[in-house]
Structure 1
Amino acid sequence: MTTNRQKIGNWFRNSISAKMLTVGFLILILLIPLGFVKDLIRERGFRQAEVIEEINTKWGNQVVLNGPILKIPYHIYVEEKVFDEKTKTFLTSQKPERHYAYFFPWELDIQSKVQTKPLERGIYESVVFSSENVIKGKFAKLNFAVKEIKEEDILWDKATLLYKTSNLKGIRNTVKVGLGEKEYALKPKFDNSFMNTLESGYLSDLENIQEQALSFQSNISINGSNQLQFIPIGKETMVNMKSNWHSPSFNGNFLPDTEGKKITDAGFEAKWKILETNRRFGQYFFDNLPDLSQFSFGTEFLVPIDDYQKTERTSKYGLMIIGLTLLVFLLIQISSKIPIHPFQYLMIGLALVMFYTLLISISEHQNYLVAYLISSIAVVALITTYSRSILKHPKFTLLVLGSMFSLYAFIFVIIQLEDFALLVGSIGLFIILGIIMFTSRKIDWNGMQVTE
């Protein structure tokens, strides 16, 4: 019995396979605390998203603007039968019903100036914006003939002007529209749809619009977050947007003209020109005005990859860092016959896991670069100092220091890259594999001999 135990003990002490199995098992065990750390990173990221959403909701969410739109009532006549008791017959009469026509501008010119700024709550920060929008254009040639509506059935004196927006809460001025020589204030109208309505009082002198174009102008100051978009309802829609934001993402159905687009560290400028033929709706609707938000276009004020996203991406390389670091110690042990206890491997692995806890906690108070430097230097210093007492030889300690420094520098470079991350990562892993193959070629894997 004692002899068998001695044989098993000698096998574990002297067998390369036993050492490899032990290290492999420890790597699997270390996936448990690494998984907990990843959950912590995701939880903190979700908390950040919740706080940012709360800040944005109170300041003003995404903004979609649609207008101005002329809303003109008209009558159509339906046949109504009424039973006459005296004659015992049905009498037929024409009963008027009120319907509405919605007409879009012939020309729509929007000048939008957007100023972004950060809002903070505790350790979290959100980027919001305030925009000043000058909206000009003209209405002309309202076509009722398509519905065969007579002139006397058009209720010109009951016409109103509409704006639709996704964010009434964010409006910071009394919206007024100058139409011709008169000015009208718009008031909110209850609406359950995504786009809320602002409507003017009754317009006057609108009949002249059939003979000559009627110009309009309005100013809308609105707070929002995430994105600012417009709907191209003009027969010709022109939009010019300027902002101090350095990372715009132009989205929606239409992209800005390449000639008028400028993006610098100080901000951006973009111009759009959209014609009626570029979209899938005309210049008027009868009876119902549909939701046209699917045709919107504009800018998303894209926040660059934040520290939580970078930390989560970094944690995805945790298994690689743990595996390669322990592999370095294993190769040193095999080649030098220096005994390393499984407990010591475990301590080294836990120190590597602690890197991510340090990274997420420090990055909540400093930027990612500072947090990464502090965390990596702390962990590398800890493991290097620990390995010095284990390996008891300067060249092995320097090997551990150099390999860990290279690993953390390699991961940092990959995280900073976006378009070339996969390419650089693949090349780096190929080089690492080549180095391991080259350094381990002299090891006699069937025994404990290292060839010269």
Structure 2
Amino acid sequence: MEKPEHQTPENQKPINQPNKFAQWLKTSITARMLMVGALILVLLIPLTYVNILIEERAYRQQDVVQEINQKWGNEVMIYGPILKLPYKTYSETSTFNEKTKTYLKETKTHLNYAYIFPEKLDIEAAVKSKTMHLGNFESAVFTSDMAIEGNYQKPDLIAKGIKSKDVIWEKASILFRTTNLKGIKNEMKITINGKSYTFETNFSDKASRNHLDELETGFLNEELLKTDFKFKMNVTYDGSKQIQAIPVGKTTTMKMSSNWADPGFIGNYSPDDETRSITKEGFEVDWKVLSINRAFSQQYLKKIPHLNQFAFGTKFVVLVDEYQKSERSAKYGFLVIGLTFLVFFLIQTMSKINIHPFQYLMIGLALIMFYTLLVSISEHSNFLKAYLIAGISVVLLITLYSKSILRNFKFSSLIGLSLTALYSFIYVIIQLENYALLVGSIGLFLILATVMYVSRKIDWHNG
């Protein structure tokens, strides 16, 4: 028999030679820290897409709300009534005559308009509110019955340099400006000293009126303007979002009552605190604005001023914005991933249990799934229920997964408790507004103190 050929070291194959890089990852604390940090940065990519998803759903909600409002009726703003008085002004021109060598004077007459606000304006609005749904989205809409009354003093333009003989009294009319003509549900009339006048839409010069449509009556009875007179009118709106009024009366009062439990008072003036009443069944509030409280006068020549900035009223909106809360929750995604990985890292370092980078990646993806679950469930339920379902699902998933990784009930329980505390802490911060920064800062301080205490005995110099 032939002897086996002797193998030299050159033609021998290495058997079970350990991978130096893999060994370094297992034994070096620095390597594990770099690996965990790199995975956190990688997971920021899907977390960014989650934020984009939330923004897209929020924009979709806005589109649907706008669609609901357009079908039902838009926001309401009233500006008026306003007395419109035509008057004459005169201008003289001189023309030189070459034949007679003299100047010929010619007087031209110009037609202008004066706009006079009422002496007193009282508005009473009874608002019935409800929510309308389209798919998974909802919007607040209302039907408002508004009773408007007040009085005018005998018109006098002497202070503006207009003589009574130059006023065309027989062509006076009443203007009323408003938004949401589509939402008006009754015939628009104004009663002056017992005589009724019907409003008609005037579409001229719309762009100069700050998106307010103009209604105008026919010519008033001239006899009405020779003394003080009272007016009253009623208008019913189907609207959404808000109701506002411009305080054109020298004294303006508005009383508003509604079954809406979460009103937002907006505009340039606040309602009276002493008469304000807000309960679960609705609210009832009063405003009173005096001429001394506003920076505009009662009479204007040639054109009506834009006074939208002086409007006041109530906002009717669905205050619970699930997407805003989801967005705020997702902003803490980096913190949740970082702290969860930190807990696993500390357990791995102190117990010498090996955790593969792929397992870290799976845990990170499970944490990101929390936000997609939160958004999708909150579209069909309230935020608290969605948060509980998403949180419990992710905590159980990671706890059970960590038990198979760490092979230790104590460590997996610690992971579950840590995640529960972290998600509870974030939920509390989301609910807070004025104290969110304070509570968040204290919470992060306590987390940092805990990490410092737990890691104090780790030998960071070894590896």
TM range (shorter): over 0.9
The answer on 1:154 being equivalent to 2:147 is no
Native 8 Å contact 1:67 1:233 kept in 2? yes
**Counterparts of 2:160 and 2:436 in 1: how far apart (Å)?**
59
Deviates more, 1:83-92 or 1:252-261: 83-92
SS at match of 1:226: strand
**Counterparts of 2:222 and 2:23 in 1: how far apart (Å)?**
105
- Residue-by-residue CA offset, 1:209-264 (whole Å, 9 max, x unaligned): 444x2010000111222221111111111111112222222221111121122222
Q: Normalising to structure 2: TM-score of the pair? A: 0.91
Per the alignment, residue 245 of structure 2 pairs with 230
Native 8 Å contact 1:141 1:209 kept in 2? yes
> Per-residue deviation at 1:93?
4.0
Native 8 Å contact 2:154 2:229 kept in 1? no
Report matched runs for 1:184-195 at 5 Å.
Answer: 184-190=197-203, 191-192=206-207, 193=209, 194-195=211-212
> Which 4+ runs in 1 deviate beyond 4 A?
2-7, 80-91
SS at match of 2:147: strand
Per the alignment, residue 204 of structure 1 pairs with 221
How many residues align? The count is 446
- Residue-by-residue CA offset, 1:294-343 (whole Å, 9 max, x unaligned): 21111222432411111111000101111111111111111111111111
Per the alignment, residue 257 of structure 1 pairs with 272
The answer on 1:311 being equivalent to 2:326 is yes
1:127 maps to amino acid: A
Native 8 Å contact 1:140 1:210 kept in 2? no
The answer on 1:44 being equivalent to 2:69 is no
1:178 maps to amino acid: T
Per the alignment, residue 7 of structure 2 pairs with none
The answer on 1:398 being equivalent to 2:413 is yes
**Counterparts of 1:276 and 1:317 in 2: how far apart (Å)?**
50
Query: Which ranges of structure 1 fall in alignment gaps of 5 or more residues?
Result: none
Per the alignment, residue 100 of structure 1 pairs with 113
> Per-residue deviation at 1:72?
1.1
1:17 maps to amino acid: T
Per the alignment, residue 260 of structure 2 pairs with 245
> Per-residue deviation at 1:82?
7.5
Deviates more, 1:89-98 or 1:18-27: 89-98
2:420 maps to amino acid: F
Report matched runs for 1:128-147 at 5 Å.
Answer: 128-147=141-160
**Counterparts of 1:169 and 1:63 in 2: how far apart (Å)?**
11
- Residue-by-residue CA offset, 1:170-193 (whole Å, 9 max, x unaligned): 211111101012011111100233
Give percent identity, aligned residues only.
52
Per the alignment, residue 55 of structure 1 pairs with 68
Deviates more, 1:405-414 or 1:87-96: 87-96
> Per-residue deviation at 1:5?
6.6
> Per-residue deviation at 1:124?
1.3
2:54 maps to amino acid: I
**Counterparts of 1:15 and 1:147 in 2: how far apart (Å)?**
89
Deviates more, 1:375-384 or 1:138-147: 138-147
Native 8 Å contact 1:113 1:242 kept in 2? yes
Per the alignment, residue 409 of structure 1 pairs with 424
Query: Which ranges of structure 2 fall in alignment gaps of 5 or more residues?
Result: 1-13
Native 8 Å contact 2:78 2:245 kept in 1? yes
- CA, structure 1 residues 179+82, in 2 after alignment: closer, same or farther (shift >3 Å)? farther
**Counterparts of 1:204 and 1:9 in 2: how far apart (Å)?**
99
2:302 maps to amino acid: D
SS at match of 1:440: helix
SS at match of 1:169: helix
Report matched runs for 1:61-140 at 5 Å.
Answer: 61-79=74-92, 91-140=104-153
**Counterparts of 2:155 and 2:311 in 1: how far apart (Å)?**
24
**Counterparts of 2:309 and 2:461 in 1: how far apart (Å)?**
68
> Per-residue deviation at 1:80?
5.2
1:135 maps to amino acid: I
SS at match of 1:432: helix
Per the alignment, residue 372 of structure 2 pairs with 357
Per the alignment, residue 275 of structure 1 pairs with 290
